[in-house]
């Protein structure tokens, strides 16, 4: 590489997004003979990383997103670019983010037309070799933790069992729906708070993981596992059975935390309005899937719906409830990805010759390289 390679970081914090893609500690690791990090002013303000920290780490602060787009060779971001930002994208510019290409084909088309190279980190196969770049795991851990804390906060009850001179309090009953990365973190957090926890999942493999955290497991009696070790869509008969099992479990619970998803699909709707109406007064549902349809029929993204007796808390960006740590975990993932993206001479590597890059390549040279077979990852 002749000259400095520019890596750009945007200010994305607005609304429920509070994170930044790369934190100053990792800027310091990147800054070297051949790299210049360009940070839009205020990029880290919502995750408590002021411009001064980026300056100390060796970054250059630039006034606008347009400056980042016009000078950076690689841009690492969290969210999809806006329509305005797409107009700034330069031919050959490399964009690294979680674009969810199957959900946003129009966006991918528009970016491909700008001749950019797009890598979508959330479709990386989840193998031992990509663990340090696994944004799904790092951000889902943050979501699961935040969902548990939100459940405790909105509940009118204590979570732990208490024996006091003013009486005995029983531990709150918590049901976690979906025992993937976020669900397991919610289980672990609720166990630490002292709740009586059960988790429900359709994958048999989840049982051992739930039990190892000291929680009860509720299964469907079948192993509804599909491509890459993820859950598959349930059949009509399985859905009927699920409804029966969940109806009982939901009614018994003080707090229900929903994290169930099927990659590339709308979240399965599992808690109907009728089920909510049968819940105990004061119960709380926290739905981290509100943005992709919701596991509960009444969930609304970033709203607390009060159904009378039950509060339904829909969280779209649950990881942003812990923006400092979620950003630093994301940043480690980005740093690790960049170590693959750049060759020994600090030139962008050829995705055709690099398996990891090829697996998450969305478009290049105006051509869309994503197909839904890339989504769903590998479980190893
Ligand atoms: P996810 O966000 O797609 O789904 C969350 C959970 O919802 C999953 O456990 C899924 O089984 C569950 N689910 C889907 N439909 C459901 C339904 N109708 N009822 C109840 N639960 C339902 O998944 P995730 O958390 O990103 O990942 C889970 C999978 O990824 C697992 O197979 C896990 O072992 C694997 N994984 C592998 C690695 C690795 O390094 N190999 C890393 C992380 C995760």
pLDDT digits (tens, 9 = 90+) for 211-247: 999 999 999 998 999 888 889 989 999 999 999 999 9
What pTM was estimated for this model as a whole? Answer: 0.93
Q: Tell me, yes or no, if 196 is annotated catalytic.
A: no
Cβ atoms 341, 350 nearer than 8 A? no
Give the pLDDT band (50/70/90) at residue 346.
Answer: confident
Give the pLDDT band (50/70/90) at residue 379.
Answer: very low
Q: What is the mean pLDDT of residues 171-187?
A: 98
Positive/negative CA dihedral, 42, 46, 50, 56: negative
Give the pLDDT band (50/70/90) at residue 378.
Answer: very low
Most confident residue range from 77-81, 280-284, 376-380: 280-284
Cβ atoms 99, 264 nearer than 8 A? no
Q: What residues line ligand 1, using a CB cutoff of 6 Å?
A: 126, 131, 134, 136-137, 140, 177-183, 200-203, 206, 229-231, 234, 242, 259-263, 268, 379-380
Closest CA to 291 of 313, 273, 307: 313
Percent of the chain with pLDDT over 90: 84
Q: Determine the distance separating the centroid of ligand 1 and the alpha carbon of 336, expressed in angstroms.
A: 23
Cβ atoms 311, 47 nearer than 8 A? no
How far is the C-alpha of 378 from the C-alpha of 380, rounded, in Å? 6
Q: Tell me, yes or no, if 230 is annotated catalytic.
A: yes
Specify the ligand 1 atom closest to the Cα of 229.
32
**Distance, CA of 54 to chain centre:** 25
pLDDT of residue 376: 59
Q: At what angle do helices 205-212 and 181-193 cross, to 10 degrees?
A: 20
**Residue from 119, 145, 200, 230 carrying the catalytic annotation:** 230
Q: Looking at the predicted structure, is the pLDDT value of residue 8 above 90?
A: yes
pLDDT of residue 11: 97
Q: Determine the distance separating the centroid of ligand 1 and the alpha carbon of 4, expressed in angstroms.
A: 41
**Residue from 137, 283, 316, 327 carrying the catalytic annotation:** 137
Q: What is the mean pLDDT of residues 257-283?
A: 94
Q: Tell me, yes or no, if 273 is annotated catalytic.
A: no
Segment 67-85, tens digit of pLDDT: 999 999 999 999 999 989 9
Q: Determine the distance separating the centroid of ligand 1 and the alpha carbon of 271, expressed in angstroms.
A: 19
Q: Looking at the predicted structure, is the pLDDT value of residue 195 above 50?
A: yes
Tokens of 268: 């399965």
Cβ atoms 91, 116 nearer than 8 A? yes
Q: Tell me, yes or no, if 251 is annotated catalytic.
A: no
Tokens of 36: 């210049």
How far is the C-alpha of 368 from the C-alpha of 104, rounded, in Å? 13
Positive/negative CA dihedral, 172, 173, 178, 179: positive
Segment 77-122, tens digit of pLDDT: 999 999 899 999 999 999 999 998 988 899 999 999 999 999 999 9
pLDDT of residue 4: 87
In the predicted model, what is the mean pLDDT of the chain? Answer: 94
Which alpha helices (H) appear in the chain, and where do they start and end? Answer: 24-30, 51-56, 65-71, 83-86, 105-113, 135-154, 181-193, 205-212, 236-252, 273-277, 323-341, 355-359
Give the pLDDT band (50/70/90) at residue 370.
Answer: confident
Which contacts qualify for 29-32: CB closer than 8 Å, 24 or more apart? 29/335, 30/335, 30/338, 31/57, 31/58, 31/59
How far is the C-alpha of 343 from the C-alpha of 339, rounded, in Å? 8
């Amino acid at each position: 590489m002749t000259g400095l390679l520019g890596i750009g970081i945007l200010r994305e914090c607005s609304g429920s997004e509070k994170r930044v893609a790369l934190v100053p500690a990792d800027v310091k690791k990147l800054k070297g003979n051949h790299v210049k990090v360009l940070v839009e002013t205020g990029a880290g303000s919502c995750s408590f990383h002021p411009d001064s920290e980026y300056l100390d780490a060796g970054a250059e602060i630039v006034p606008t997103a347009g400056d980042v787009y016009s000078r950076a060779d690689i841009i690492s971001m969290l969210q999809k670019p806006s329509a305005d930002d797409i107009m700034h994208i330069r031919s050959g510019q490399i964009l690294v983010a979680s674009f969810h290409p199957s959900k946003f084909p129009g966006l991918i088309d528009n970016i491909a037309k700008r001749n950019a190279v797009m890598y979508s980190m959330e479709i990386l196969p989840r193998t031992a070799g990509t663990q340090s770049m696994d944004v799904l795991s790092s951000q889902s851990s943050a979501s699961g933790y935040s969902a548990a804390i939100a459940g405790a906060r909105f509940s009118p009850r204590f979570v732990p069992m208490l024996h006091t001179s003013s009486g005995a309090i029983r531990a709150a009953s918590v049901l976690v729906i979906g025992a993937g990365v976020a669900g397991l973190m919610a289980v672990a957090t609720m166990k630490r708070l002292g709740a009586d926890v059960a988790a429900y999942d359709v994958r048999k493999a989840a049982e051992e993981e739930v039990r190892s955290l000291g929680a009860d497991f509720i299964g469907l009696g079948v192993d509804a596992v599909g491509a890459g070790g993820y859950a598959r869509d349930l059949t009509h008969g399985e859905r009927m059975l699920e409804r029966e099992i969940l109806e009982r479990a939901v009614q018994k619970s003080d707090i229900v935390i929903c994290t169930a998803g099927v990659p590339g699909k709308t979240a399965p709707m599992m808690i109907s309005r009728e089920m909510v109406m049968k819940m105990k007064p004061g119960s709380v549902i926290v739905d981290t899937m509100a943005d992709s349809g919701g596991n509960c029929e009444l969930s609304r993204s970033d709203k607390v719906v009060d159904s009378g007796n039950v509060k339904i808390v829909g969280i779209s960006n649950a990881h942003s409830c812990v923006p400092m740590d979620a950003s630093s975990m994301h940043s480690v993932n980005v740093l690790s990805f960049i170590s693959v993206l750049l060759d020994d001479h600090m030139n962008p590597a050829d995705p055709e010759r690099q398996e990891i890059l090829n697996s998450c390549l969305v478009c290049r040279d105006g051509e869309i390289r994503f197909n839904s077979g890339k989504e769903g990852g590998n479980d190893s």
